[in-house]
Amino acid sequence: MTLEQLIAQARTALDTAIATRRQEQDALVALRSDDNLTEDAVRDQVERRDAADAEVTRRQAALEELEKEQRREDEVTALAARTVPAATRAPAYDRVARVGAEERTYRPDTDRRGAMFQSDIIARALGTEGDIEARERLDRHMQEERVERGNQLRAAGTGAFAGLVVPQYLTDLYAPAAQANRPFADAIRHHDLPSQGMQVNISRVTTGSSVDNQSAENAAVAEQDMDDTNLAIPVQTAAGQQTLSRQAIERGAGVESVVLDDLFRRYNTNLDGKLLNQATTGLSAVATAVTYTDTDPSAVELYPKLIEGLAGVEAALLDMASGENIAVMHSRRWYWLQNAMASTWPLITQPGVVAQTLGANYAQAYGRGVRGMLPNGTPVIVDNNVATNLGTGTNEDEVYLVDRQECHLWEDPDAPMYIRAEQPKAASLGVLLVVYGYYAYTHARYPQARKISGTGLVTPTFA
């Protein structure tokens, strides 16, 4: 597992701990407003709140330690970059040492969107009255680039990369293709993929031992031969490629890094999508369905189905349940739940949920861990890799309820990796970029997952 993945996992664990602490504090507030308050009950709840507080502190310390380690890695990487000869690297604009106080011709504080730069290019090309001044500015700018960026000078992009041109700071404004990325994959249990083999094997006890009362002294005691079944999990390979022209790489600005960034993000999106939707082994395929059929669906009617699903998760796991249940849903379902209004409340108060409050939204951005909690305190992960074309009308989504510790993902600590190959495309002046990685997963160590599905989960309407 990479350091970035460990940090993402630590953030999710901290979010969960914070949610639990909020639950315990809200429960304490609710308890103190109870007319039948007892000192013992308050003391017990204070102890639970303090224990949750300690867990938050522990999780926070773990995250800070990982982030400190990441910062040090970044420092070491930056230090290593300084040892590269100037002719082979292209430092960022704000990382270049200069003598005196001379300002750049084109700067983000005065020409943030590159309007002046573009106007000068047009003026020079058309030979307008401002051509002389434009030419001077462009020549001065190009000289600055030669001094600061050596032989990595980028004059202009070509073809599909026409917008990626110097000045260098403008390349940071490119708009990458939006991706659903990997919210679910970051929330579940991670393992390092073994260094060899194309299969992960797990032994599952399918027939347990037996214990019963002895019928009489010296009588035979209960005995049952245990038996296990091998759960074979295939190692899968995810890969993508892109061929770039040498012109785009050598005369465009940052083209190669932009393409690699897109490939890496699509790699993450593909992995997360397979965890949810892959035939036979994906979460949708292995989860036991809890059907919600309704021609006029409402959040109030959906909620009991969610509780039924959670009850099924616990019934399947029994003493193997970690208690770290999560609900996974599409963003359209999460906002539909927030849109709902209610005049009734659960009969039994829940830890961390103030009386007459149905759940909570933590206002987290997409892909940043727990987004909020259901009325019973279950954390919600919003993932737009959840399919929205299910059912007979191809307009339904699903809500998944799982113990996140029983959703297992093995990843190569170095994944995704990439290959930069020039020879295969040399005759056509092309450079082949390939991104790939190995992974394995299972949600079936125990048949615990539940999914809410049916006509009650058609495209939501907001009113």
Does pLDDT of 86 surpass 80? no
**One domain, residues 270 and 412:** yes
**One domain, residues 296 and 363:** yes
310 Cβ contact partners less than 8 Å away, ≥ 6 residues apart: 325, 376, 378, 401, 450
pLDDT of residue 158: 37
Does pLDDT of 85 surpass 70? no
Rounded average pLDDT over 62-74: 85
**One domain, residues 189 and 134:** no
- Pairwise CA distance, residues 105 & 116, whole Å: 10
**Structural tokens at position 363:** 């206002």
**One domain, residues 334 and 455:** yes
Range with lowest mean pLDDT among 95-99, 207-211, 301-305, 459-463? 95-99
- Tell me the CATH number at 389: 3.90.1690
pLDDT of residue 75: 78
Does pLDDT of 352 surpass 70? no
**One domain, residues 132 and 227:** no
Q: 155-181 pLDDT, tens per residue?
A: 333 344 333 334 555 555 566 778 899
What proportion of the chain, given as a percentage, has pLDDT over 70? 79
**Count of domains for the chain:** 4
Confidence of residue 414 (pLDDT cuts 50, 70, 90): confident
Domain extent at residue 142: 86-153
Cα distances (angstroms) measured from residue 130 to each of 141, 221, 230, 280, 346: 16, 101, 77, 66, 73
Range with lowest mean pLDDT among 64-78, 264-278, 339-353? 339-353
Report if residue 101 sits inside a domain. yes
**One domain, residues 104 and 186:** no
pLDDT of residue 406: 95
**One domain, residues 128 and 218:** no
Range with lowest mean pLDDT among 141-150, 180-189, 200-209? 141-150
9: nearest Cα among 182, 211, 193: 182
HEC profile of the chain: CCHHHHHHHHHHHHHHHHHHHHHHHHHHHHHHCCCCCCHHHHHHHHHHHHHHHHHHHHHHHHHHHHHHHHHHHHHHHHHHHHCCCHHHCCCCHHHCCCCCCCCCCCCCCCCCCCHHHHHHHHHHHHCCCCHHHHHHHHHHHHHHHHHHHHHHCCCCCCHHHCCCCCCHHHHHHCCCCCCCCCHHHHHCEEEECCCCCCEEEEEEEEECCCCCCCCCCCCCCCCCCCEEEEEEEECEEEEEEEEEEHHHHHHCCCHHHHHHHHHHHHHHHHHHHHHHHCCCCCHHHHCEEEECCCCCCCHHHHHHHHHHHHHHHHHHHHHHCCCCEEEEECHHHHHHHHHCCCCCCCCCCCCCCCCCCCCEECCCCCCCCCCEECCCCCEEEECCCCCCCECCCCCECCEEEEEHHHCEEEECCCCCEEEEECHHHHHHCEEEEEEEEEEEEECCCCCCCEEEECHHHECCCCC
| Pairing mode, strands 399-403 and 325-329 | antiparallel
76 Cβ contact partners less than 8 Å away, ≥ 6 residues apart: none
Report if residue 250 sits inside a domain. yes
pLDDT of residue 165: 36
Backbone angles phi, psi at 214, to 5 degrees: -70, 130
Rounded average pLDDT over 78-89: 54
Cβ proximity of 388 and 395 under 8 Å: yes
Report if residue 175 sits inside a domain. no
119: nearest Cα among 138, 103, 146, 139: 138
**One domain, residues 284 and 383:** yes
Longest dimension (CA), the chain: 113
19: nearest Cα among 328, 287, 364, 260: 364
| Pairing mode, strands 236-245 and 399-403 | unpaired
Rounded average pLDDT over 97-110: 65
Rounded average pLDDT over 399-404: 97
Q: 27-52 pLDDT, tens per residue?
A: 787 777 776 777 878 888 888 889 98
Confidence of residue 102 (pLDDT cuts 50, 70, 90): low
Does pLDDT of 76 surpass 80? no
Does pLDDT of 151 surpass 80? no
Report if residue 165 sits inside a domain. no
Q: 223-251 pLDDT, tens per residue?
A: 999 988 888 999 999 999 988 888 887 77
**One domain, residues 63 and 99:** no
pLDDT of residue 249: 77
19 Cβ contact partners less than 8 Å away, ≥ 6 residues apart: 352, 362, 370, 373, 377, 379
Report if residue 346 sits inside a domain. yes
pLDDT of residue 324: 93
Report if residue 168 sits inside a domain. no
Residue bearing tokens 């309007």: 115
pLDDT of residue 181: 92
Half-sphere exposure of 73 (CA within 13 A, CB side): 9
Confidence of residue 333 (pLDDT cuts 50, 70, 90): very high
**One domain, residues 43 and 187:** no
Report if residue 159 sits inside a domain. no
**One domain, residues 61 and 31:** yes
Rounded average pLDDT over 206-229: 91
Range with lowest mean pLDDT among 160-174, 254-268, 331-345? 160-174
Report if residue 174 sits inside a domain. no
pLDDT of residue 332: 96
- Pairwise CA distance, residues 155 & 168, whole Å: 10
**One domain, residues 63 and 77:** yes
Q: 354-399 pLDDT, tens per residue?
A: 656 667 788 888 988 899 888 888 999 999 999 999 999 999 999 9
> Mean pLDDT over all residues of the chain?
81
